[in-house]
Structure 1
């Protein structure tokens, strides 16, 4: 059983969909359209699951979330610790084709020429560098953004990430500083005005950071690391940084946000709809760097299975 091809033998032009949310759009319809793609059911059944064909969309997502534990390659650890565990070329090829149909591979052209803000998401060091560099390329090619927010954290970089930075002549020990260093190189920022609130040593989960600088073409660039909204349970997450950016920058209702991440992390668009799009009435479009193209990291089948689980989790969260 395989993903259907057209009469020429080529894969259908699926998964190239622009990810744009406008105020008033139905999150339910967005999720339902994704669930209706044949590739997801094919993967579930190929990995021994039963497709949940009855009940409402939330009920089906709950069943898929329970099943998708089989795709959890992290077990709570860093994405750097994902181990390739898909055996056999045929199954690996099926996963990669399904990931394309499900929109985790190809980034189509942007739908607008100008945005009020570009929100660049942090992550692993490779992602931080690639996303800032990709935004610079978009601006150089004519895309206009009125301001940039680099959304990072105080997470300490691991040895593999430090080696990546060293290879490209960067110096940074944390995620947010990596974003700033990338901005200095590709957005031409300098002389950051920085403000730290709280104590990173004694109470890091309640500490926050903001820095501002002027970049290329007079661009206003801000870097944020947020305090955790649940410091007793966890460090700050992406949603916390979304909240901080909106509170600090006050984009008005109807503002256009360009969310810059990696295409494999399509779920972050759903998180942005939940945290920013609906409550703040913001337009949100995702631009994702592509594996093997303008991304420094190439992703194997296990990575895509992991992020399909993330898609299911975020789909459930945006509808609850």
Structure 2
């Protein structure tokens, strides 16, 4: 009996096999792909995705990716569909049914349900002559390529193709909808990703917490404001608009004649400032790049409306 290949050799063979399959799919995109995008954009309801076994696992991921990128989607387990979950699917929805063979018996009730109630259906399969493909309005046909496993039976290449096609569909829809980073943050409010997608306006201190003074204030007022507000800066305004910012560093650089110095003369007239809709991740990157710990937030008229500290980003989970 021949010795088995080295694990690393097996891994490389599998990855190359699947990578070549995805590249082939990119060059031979299913003919119905543009029509499927248009059909999904046209329905007022949700995209219902279903499958069984490995196709079911792929279907869950496809539905999750669609939902998180602006296309309302829901996964229905093919086995549970026949026991009440068909009620989830209604007119106005569109169904994507995944089966490599196209002859998965568990999908039969779903196929019948979509036909009975005239619900548009998309088949993801490698068999154009299958029951699933013949019943569907749209067919996303996967190429019949060798599985990556040595016996050619374990779903490997076929599931990778289905997953990659699902990602391609989600991104195409995302771009057609004009889905923006702000929209992405709405669907990802939890965890580090959600924190990074939050806007500065959600983290900033405003109102009475702002260390704001008129540009005519004296140095005593500046020192009291910096001490009481606790941000290490004083913001000077003129007729409500930003006039300059004084930092702890500015105080140290002018220590010799500090109490007699005019605050407006030692203030930085062009401090680092951001708009309130700046993403938290972008603001934190700016803090790190400028090696500062506090960021001023101004509105479109250059009026100070908030201040955000490095610690605010850390508390929010922005890394």
TM-score range, shorter chain: under 0.3
Bigger relative CO (Cα 8 Å, ≥ 6 apart)? 1
TM-score normalised to the size of structure 1?
A: 0.23
| Greater helix fraction, Structure 1 or Structure 2 | 2
Larger Rg computed on CA atoms: 2
